[in-house]
Chain A
């Protein structure tokens, strides 16, 4: 299929600066979900399609089709070229592409235990056990939802420069959510394990224990204090640190945001942004994490990228286009949700590197404040540099120790101020936030983490 697709491209002549690529995707997956003891969904999904890009005279055109018929792919390429030409006439900001960047390679997923070989019944039993354990722990657990999803995808990427890449990608997730209710008080917690490794990752989990822990967390929050409102000194757990670094820095380091004049970090390369304690990386090459991959959606082999070193900004995330515009090498950060979308600059696994303090030392540093744990996610306005993220719960910090539990709450801050106010880092790096990142109507799997982090004067949007 790869050679036949390459032959389609060879029928066309691309002058210097022009470009086209074809991305063929075939994906299959199974989802099992159980809600409140009843089967919610057992589904089989099958998706096949092709995304075709063309860059002509500095204008981009993109066409997607379902199926992989060669004639249809050729028609899609003709259409992509046509709309690229039409775009070029209207476009004042010309697109570019790295011209000497040619990749040939392949990556095949290697499992210890292939999730596709695990019988449906076995998967169902695990989901059932997880959901039942959480639900039956207490009458106050009113809603439970557990699921397993696995997705396997093959992709061929060819382009007019000569790139020929075959890559496979897989994703396996187990999730359980529990909601506890007493009168008008409701608290919701969840556990998610997301991996690009095999079934062995599920086997390593003690599902029964996880179900009990989840129920206990929900019940603890049901009787927890209302969260405080106002500026507070805080300690974040690795899950919140993951979302914090993803939202506040990761997005601002995406080179398309810099070029679009949409990042607070534009023009700050090499500048000291904050505490020398801070080192930030994005590394899709770490095996098994949810945001791990080998080749990006343009066929570039991905690498570990350091974004902040000793508090100084040193790197961006790049696609072929942003790299060309900035005169650097692409670093494998162009990702597309599926064949129906263009690749854009995205993160993979983003983290703050560990420091050297224990959690006890961080709590002692903050003395009186708020400990926040288990992230719900967040968002950022990269242009203003203002971010928001939510915790499933936490504790008050009183006299340097964890005090009374508090309910779910959100926080916000200004990216550059918060980096300056980071006063201490924990010593245990943990990839504690497997999630999905949304940008430009595309959602891609990511992972994020870090050590515990002590930060002064964050706005906590509590209830009292």
Chain B
């Protein structure tokens, strides 16, 4: 099949394109759907297709199709080249990347025991998760378990010709606990690249335990309070801030939060954040990015100081910076833009117990992100899973409570970083305490 794609690249050049790239996806997924404590449906899906990017005189044309055959390749290349000739030039574009002679070795991207896992075993795993969740009578669960195997192959006219295969197992359980009309919901999930790391019973147990812990939620009055973000909340919050703040494409557009601030202290010196796609067995790990550029580790914030923008080939050329190999295509038809692969935040010096015990009144957030609003540094989010802290102890769960702040205020008010870390298949994070945020309560 690869020969047809290589011929497709040559065909595109022959048709008048200056540069051509083909990105191919081939794979399959099996999914077990759960509903109301039972297996509800089983699914088997084909994930196949390719996208062609052709550049002619700096004009870009893209064509995609789900069909992987010789005629579809030729047809799509023809369409992409035709569109590239109709497109006005993007004067900032200089070249596709490559070729590259050396790629890193990243272990643990594919596990044959996942690729060859019989579909029935996926169902057994789902049942294991249900059974461990409904040990608690008051809990009803739904969710899904998924096995994914996919191969990405990238060809371009500069000589890039690379391929990588991933496998993964994902389990998500949503749990609802109900006692005397009081309802609470929660979830847990796990995504792994090695079957041996997959713990369905833990997913079910944790989801049920979380939901039960949120029963008896109360409304509180509006206030200005400190907020402790648990490990997952910290990961989601800081990933979203860094993703919007240090994206080289957003720098070009003028909307990156930290544009022109490299070298400045933007948060507590306890905060160090890296993007690391080379972590063994990481779910965000990969040998190369979506343009076929070899991956590398990148320090984004070092001891509170903004160190680097993450980029793709386009941004690196425009800004005259290093290509950090962070290109990501959101779908086959999209142009690859910079995105984070796998965020790793370093440990601090606090224990979670110290953070809580030293809080007279505050909020403890569980698995909830304080992400910025679209195109704005303002943060205005509902607390899905949160607790009130009173006199140094977790008091009760919250309902109808929102947090309002800005990303700049949040970063400035980081008071402590935990020494404990979670490592969720390569995404690593401590917990963090911020000294204040506006809390809007429903009382």
Residue ranges of A at the interface with B (Cβ–Cβ < 8 Å): 31, 35-36, 38-49, 59-67, 79-80, 83-84, 86-87, 90-93, 95, 120-121, 124, 142-143, 177, 179, 181, 184-188, 227, 229-231, 259-262, 264, 340, 342, 376, 381, 383-386, 388, 390, 407-414, 459-464
Select which of A86, A120, A142, A408 is within 8 A of B123 by beta carbon.
Answer: A86
Contact A43 B62, beta carbon cutoff 8 Å: yes
Q: Report the minimum CB–CB distance from B242 to chain A (whole Å).
A: 16
Complex Cα gap A261–B65 (Å): 39
Complex Cα gap A457–B330 (Å): 40
Contact B373 A376, beta carbon cutoff 8 Å: yes
Q: Please give 20 more A-B residue pairs, beta carbons under 8 A apart, in addition to A43-B333, A384-B399.
A: A36-B252, A41-B335, A44-B76, A44-B83, A49-B46, A59-B42, A64-B46, A67-B66, A93-B37, A93-B38, A188-B373, A262-B142, A383-B185, A386-B382, A407-B376, A414-B400, A461-B380, A461-B403, A463-B404, A464-B404
CB-CB under 8 A for A86 and B42, given A384-B184, A459-B441, A462-B438: yes
Contact A261 B39, beta carbon cutoff 8 Å: no
Contact A227 B380, beta carbon cutoff 8 Å: yes
Select which of B62, B373, B399 is within 8 A of A42 by beta carbon.
Answer: B62
Contact B440 A92, beta carbon cutoff 8 Å: no
Contact B375 A188, beta carbon cutoff 8 Å: yes
Q: Which 9 A-B pairs have the closest CB atoms?
A: A188-B375, A461-B402, A142-B254, A60-B41, A43-B62, A230-B222, A93-B38, A410-B380, A461-B380
Q: Which of B381, B400, B439 has the most CB of A within 10 A?
A: B400
Interface residues of B in 86-122 (CB under 8 A from A): 86-92, 119-120
Complex Cα gap A340–B37 (Å): 25
0 or 1 for each of B332-354: is its CB under 8 Å from A? (1 = yes): 01110000000000000000000
B137 lies within 8 A of chain A by Cβ = no
Contact A83 B119, beta carbon cutoff 8 Å: yes
Q: Report the minimum CB–CB distance from B402 to chain A (whole Å).
A: 3
Residues of chain B within 8 A (CB-CB) of A66 are: 46, 48-49, 66-68
B384 lies within 8 A of chain A by Cβ = yes
Q: Which of B68, B380, B403 has the most CB of A within 10 A?
A: B380
In the complex, number of A-B residue pairs with CB atoms less than 8 Å apart:
262
Interface residues of B in 72-94 (CB under 8 A from A): 72, 76, 79-80, 83-84, 86-92
B442 lies within 8 A of chain A by Cβ = yes
Contact A381 B440, beta carbon cutoff 8 Å: no
Q: Report the minimum CB–CB distance from B185 to chain A (whole Å).
A: 5
Q: Which residue from chain B places its CB closest to the CB of A46 in the assembled complex?
A: B65
Select which of B67, B119, B176, B404 is within 8 A of A262 by beta carbon.
Answer: B176
0 or 1 for each of B402-413: is its CB under 8 Å from A? (1 = yes): 111110100000
Contact A83 B384, beta carbon cutoff 8 Å: no
Q: Which of A184, A229, A414 has the most CB of B within 10 A?
A: A229
Complex Cα gap A86–B88 (Å): 55
Q: Report the minimum CB–CB distance from B91 to chain A (whole Å).
A: 7
Select which of B39, B46, B373, B400 is within 8 A of A410 by beta carbon.
Answer: B373
- A-B CB contact pairs (8 Å), 28 listed: A40-B335, A41-B60, A42-B83, A43-B61, A43-B62, A44-B63, A45-B64, A46-B63, A46-B67, A48-B65, A62-B44, A63-B43, A66-B66, A66-B68, A67-B67, A83-B43, A86-B120, A87-B32, A91-B38, A93-B35, A143-B253, A342-B41, A342-B43, A381-B384, A388-B381, A390-B373, A407-B378, A413-B400
Contact A92 B406, beta carbon cutoff 8 Å: no
CB-CB under 8 A for A87 and B83, given A95-B41, A384-B184, A461-B380: no
Complex Cα gap A75–B402 (Å): 51
Complex Cα gap A134–B157 (Å): 37
CB-CB under 8 A for A461 and B67, given A61-B42, A66-B49: no
Complex Cα gap A231–B401 (Å): 10
CB-CB under 8 A for A463 and B406, given A42-B62, A44-B64, A46-B66: yes
0 or 1 for each of B19-37: is its CB under 8 Å from A? (1 = yes): 0000000000000110111
Contact A459 B402, beta carbon cutoff 8 Å: yes
B203 lies within 8 A of chain A by Cβ = no
Residues of chain B within 8 A (CB-CB) of A59 are: 39, 41-42
Contact A187 B86, beta carbon cutoff 8 Å: no
Residue ranges of B at the interface with A (Cβ–Cβ < 8 Å): 32-33, 35-46, 48-49, 59-68, 72, 76, 79-80, 83-84, 86-92, 119-120, 123, 127, 140, 142, 176, 183-185, 222, 252-255, 257, 333-335, 373-378, 380-382, 384, 399-406, 408, 438-443
Complex Cα gap A261–B35 (Å): 9
Residues of chain A within 8 A (CB-CB) of B442 are: 231, 412-414, 459
Contact A383 B176, beta carbon cutoff 8 Å: yes
Contact B378 A409, beta carbon cutoff 8 Å: yes
Q: Which residue from chain B places its CB closest to the CB of A264 in the assembled complex?
A: B183
Q: Which residue from chain B places its CB closest to the CB of A63 in the assembled complex?
A: B44
Q: Which of B35, B222, B402 has the most CB of A within 10 A?
A: B402
Select which of A39, A47, A87, A407 is within 8 A of B41 by beta carbon.
Answer: A87
Select which of A64, A142, A383 is within 8 A of B183 by beta carbon.
Answer: A383
Residues of chain A within 8 A (CB-CB) of B43 are: 61-64, 83, 342
Contact B44 A60, beta carbon cutoff 8 Å: no
Select which of B88, B375, B405 is within 8 A of A179 by beta carbon.
Answer: B375
Select which of A63, A91, A409 is within 8 A of B380 by beta carbon.
Answer: A409
Q: Report the minimum CB–CB distance from B331 to chain A (whole Å).
A: 9
Q: Report the minimum CB–CB distance from B441 to chain A (whole Å).
A: 7
Complex Cα gap A67–B43 (Å): 18
Residues of chain B within 8 A (CB-CB) of A407 are: 376, 378
Residues of chain B within 8 A (CB-CB) of A142 are: 253-255
Contact B380 A44, beta carbon cutoff 8 Å: no
Residues of chain A within 8 A (CB-CB) of B176 are: 261-262, 383
Residues of chain B within 8 A (CB-CB) of A261 are: 36, 140, 176
Contact A229 B438, beta carbon cutoff 8 Å: yes
Contact B380 A390, beta carbon cutoff 8 Å: yes
Contact B401 A459, beta carbon cutoff 8 Å: yes
Residues of chain A within 8 A (CB-CB) of B334 are: 41
Q: Report the minimum CB–CB distance from B290 to chain A (whole Å).
A: 15
Residues of chain B within 8 A (CB-CB) of A31 are: 333
Residues of chain A within 8 A (CB-CB) of B61 are: 42-44
Contact A184 B377, beta carbon cutoff 8 Å: yes
Complex Cα gap A67–B42 (Å): 21
Residues of chain A within 8 A (CB-CB) of B142 are: 260, 262
Select which of A46, A121, A185 is within 8 A of B86 by beta carbon.
Answer: A121
Residues of chain B within 8 A (CB-CB) of A229 are: 222, 402, 404, 438-440
Complex Cα gap A179–B374 (Å): 10
Contact A384 B40, beta carbon cutoff 8 Å: no
Q: Which residue from chain A places its CB closest to the CB of B120 in the assembled complex?
A: A86
Residues of chain B within 8 A (CB-CB) of A120 are: 83, 86
Complex Cα gap A86–B442 (Å): 48
Contact B62 A39, beta carbon cutoff 8 Å: no
Complex Cα gap A186–B44 (Å): 44
Complex Cα gap A36–B91 (Å): 12
Residues of chain B within 8 A (CB-CB) of A186 are: 255, 375-377
Q: Which residue from chain A places its CB closest to the CB of B383 in the assembled complex?
A: A412
Residues of chain A within 8 A (CB-CB) of B378 are: 407-409, 463
Select which of A90, A121, A386 is within 8 A of B39 by beta carbon.
Answer: A90
